[in-house]
Amino acid sequence: MLIIIKSSPDTPEARRALDLAQTMNAGICLVQNGVYLTVKEESRDIAGAVYALSEDMTLRGLKPAGNVRSIDYEELIDIMNGSEKVMGMF
Amino acid sequence: MTKISIILRKAPYGSVDAPEAIRHALGGINDDMSVNLVFIGSGVNAARRNQDILGTNYLSVEDGIRDCIDMGVAVFAEAKSLDEEQISDTDLIEGVLRAGLNKIGEVLKTSDTVMIF
């Protein structure tokens, strides 16, 4: 399962999505202001894969670190197609 | 001289708050006001260096902040928020001042107008 997060870490939407991902052992994909989660501890507690859209990271001056895998749009489409279930965008 | 402080609480590129805060800061400094721009919470992400707008239609928030500093706006980033967002001094745009809540409180207390974004 893949959960897509576009909201800033300090929003209820991002909080709800993280709780859901942890509960369901899902992977997460971070886009738009969701990429700010890459520097947060919470993203390291995710059992599944953690993806972040490289374009949105570059715009915001962020560099991928830790368990985050940087992807582009084509890869995002492939990952969504390859996932059994996709939920988003929080 | 009229003193205005503008507080940004939201990360850039997710909403119009960051460019609006910068626009008002530049407007104020052009009207011969004393202007402070204060980043707090996820707003401190606006002060990250190396924001790359290439290939997007966004206006660079980083360039806007550099313009503010060049024109005499005092730009502060709240220290605890910087730590929470894991932004080190080397990640900051040159000229942005890391400030504790005491310093920020002092700045706001002496302001005639405070605008919050």
Domain segments of chain A as ranges: 2-87
Least Cα separation, residue B12 to chain A (angstroms): 8
Domain at B3-116: CATH architecture: 3-Layer(aba) Sandwich (3.40)
Confidence of residue B49 (pLDDT cuts 50, 70, 90): very high
pLDDT of residue B15: 87
For A2-87, CATH gives: 3.40.1260.10
Q: Is B45 on the interface with A (CB under 8 A)?
A: yes
pLDDT of residue B1: 84
Q: For residues A13-42, give the mean pLDDT.
A: 94
Which of B62, B101, B95 shows the shortest CA–CA distance to B79? B101
Confidence of residue B32 (pLDDT cuts 50, 70, 90): confident
Please indicate whether residue A88 or residue B48 has the higher confidence score (pLDDT): B48
Question: Phi and psi (nearest 5°) for B68?
Answer: -60, -50
Confidence of residue B14 (pLDDT cuts 50, 70, 90): confident
What are the start-end ranges of the E strands in A6-89? 27-30, 50-53, 68-71, 86-87
A7 and B14 in contact by Cβ < 8 A?
yes
- CB B24: neighbour CB atoms within 10 A? 16
- Numbered residues of chain A with Cβ closer than 8 Å to any chain B Cβ: 7-10, 32-33, 36, 39-40, 55-56, 58-62
Q: For residues A77-85, give the mean pLDDT.
A: 92
A59 and B52 in contact by Cβ < 8 A?
yes
Confidence of residue B64 (pLDDT cuts 50, 70, 90): very high
pLDDT digits (tens, 9 = 90+) for A32-52: 999 999 998 888 889 899 999
Helix segments in B9-100, DSSP class H: 17-30, 61-70, 79-84
Planar angle of CA B38, B58, B78, nearest 5 degrees: 15
B49 and A55 in contact by Cβ < 8 A?
no
Res. B31: pLDDT tops 90: no
Q: For residues B110-114, give the mean pLDDT.
A: 95
pLDDT of residue A41: 85
A59 and B51 in contact by Cβ < 8 A?
yes
What are the start-end ranges of the E strands in A22-76? 27-30, 50-53, 68-71
Which of B8, B9, B10, B13 is most worth mutating to test chain A (most A CB atoms within 10 A of its CB)? B13
pLDDT of residue A22: 92
